Chain A
């Protein structure tokens, strides 16, 4: 079966308020299906609040590295950071999320697929978390050559790849009508000084597929308040209210790092 128009949500990071706002927005846009590309938990408060929203909206989910870790109760999130400070904060987030995800929801995460392949219009679309070859691979816009993306499309026999994981939306048109898109994340802002978060619409109804990045405004002050009340680090709350990343910075290439203030 071929789909016409779909919504792709990147990492939710337990941001149930942004998910509610995004779903309300999607409701008005007439999409054939909604997909989440993984990392349902992390960073935010009350991880279990995500699951009823997903089930009620019929969202098909992939298993991100976080979901694999929580589902299998591993020791860390497998995000792939290399810096001690980044890992310190990642561990606080992970320990909180694991402790607050129910047994039933862990089982749900455990059973999610790693990838989904579907037809969008007349194109073959591969949905994945980090990259088609590695769940926790960071594909940044400034450090990923176009011919590399083309080769990955060819290796995985698809015309379009949609991924998330790195937390900043971007797209690249590839030779031969192919496309790569990072759909962004709903979980936290994009290190641009704005509190909004993003999801992506993919439209295959025309000869050339259309990719539209959609900003989502939500009650970020409430989220920050709840994070604080839950004892999550002040640095995380600062990110939510300022739009600037305060942690997990060392993994950023210089172009993406320079765009932020920390």
Chain B
């Protein structure tokens, strides 16, 4: 396992690090496939890999127990990630169970989806009042762009997965990590939309994500520097609700962690029960600056607000 180097806490005064509390647990995440993935993308922020078993699968029973635990806390929606969630043999039943409680979103690479699963999930969503969202990762609108990052043949395989989802009536959100300049967003999006439309996805939804300079990405480009830190000054007047840790927690087979990005960091494990994990967290990681700059990285909002070039912009509260 590649652990994320923790630049900040080792080099900075703890008093300088702002803490973010959690008013209410609204999004509950599940690291449902642990760190197991059928792909080995060279930008993966938690080093998921076919042979990385440092985090294990979550069983249907464990997820069902956590869903029950979430009810008195008023959780609004549920997210499933990995690794590749559909490597978990109970994934379909896990989503069916979740749709009895609330809306569910699953983050998949789209390469292993089977029609029998999708038929079962389509029926479950039709019977539920809640949405089932699929987010499919594709990191470029051509194989030449995507495959060097995600692996040979993955562009076509993922597109086939998108087509299958569309055939079953879903409207997957395509997530693409921005490996191009901000200024090129509009042209990249247009090209992406055209490719998806040509493949039969008439109303494509695309969410652009910033890279996280950690995990495998450190080797591909670079890691965060010691200066990549959220300061108390930056938090003045800032809307904390834009930060994932202000409203979310994630369950792994080790317990409850602060957010989906930091599960491999030792300080991210906050407790064994959901309630015990609802305590403030210090924004002491480089990745916190990415969350600060872009906001809503992990939620389903389609596309993120652009940050300015130096990342010091602030978003004021609407209320």
Contacts and interface: CB of A to CB of B under 8 A. Distances in A.
Interface string B286-313: 0000000000100011111100000000
A134 B125 CA distance: 29
Contacts of A80: 318
Interface stretch (A31-39, A144-152, A207-215): A144-152
Interface in A37-86: 65, 78, 80, 82-84
A133 B170 CA distance: 31
A82 B131 contact: no
The 3 closest A-B pairs by CB, nearest first: A151-B74, A145-B102, A148-B76
Interface in B84-133: 101-103, 125, 129-133
A144 B129 CA distance: 9
Interface in A128-168: 133-136, 141-148, 150-152, 155
B170 A254 contact: yes
A152 B130 contact: no
Nearest to A69: B318
B131 A255 contact: yes
Contacts of B305: 82
B160 interface: no
B303 A250 contact: yes
Contact-size category for A:
20 to 34
A145 B77 contact: yes
Contacts of A78: 318
Interface of B: 24, 26, 70-77, 101-103, 125, 129-133, 169-171, 186, 203, 205, 241, 296, 300-305, 318-319
Given A142-B130, A143-B131, A253 B103 contact: yes
Contact of A254 (B24, B102, B133): B133
Contact of A151 (B73, B170, B241, B301): B73
Nearest to A260: B203
Interface string A154-190: 0100000000000000000000000000000000000
Contact of B76 (A83, A136, A145): A145
A257 interface: yes
Given A148-B102, A253-B103, A257-B171, A143 B303 contact: no
Contacts of A143: 76-77, 103, 130-131, 300
Contacts of B125: 255
Nearest to B170: A254
